[in-house]
Amino acid sequence: MELYFLFLVFAGIVLISSIVGYLVTKKFYVTPAIIFVLFSFLMLLLFNETFFIWVIIYTCFSIFVTLIMFIYKSRKGKKQH
């Protein structure tokens, strides 16, 4: 059951929140920072210290998604002008 949350639920939450967070804030570093803090609290409250590797993985995944959104938005903006 924990693997279900690790691979599907948490990854989906990170993906959706990274996209929405970038579209709302227009900054690529805000959403990964929020995800790092949020999953660090989840690690302390619900899981044990071995969950910290997943905190790092989800933060890197969020950085990757927001950078893709940043590049996509910047290229889309250049093509319109």
Tell me the C-alpha distance between 21 and 19, whole Å.
5
pTM: 0.82
Give the number of C-alpha atoms closer than 13 A to the C-alpha of residue 77, restricted to the C-beta side: 6
Tell me the C-alpha distance between 70 and 7, whole Å.
25
- Dihedrals phi, psi of 3, to nearest 5 degrees: -65, -35
Spacing of C-alpha 23 from chain mean position: 13
pLDDT tens sequence for the chain (81 residues): 667 766 788 889 999 999 999 999 988 889 999 999 998 998 888 877 888 888 899 999 999 999 999 999 888 877 765
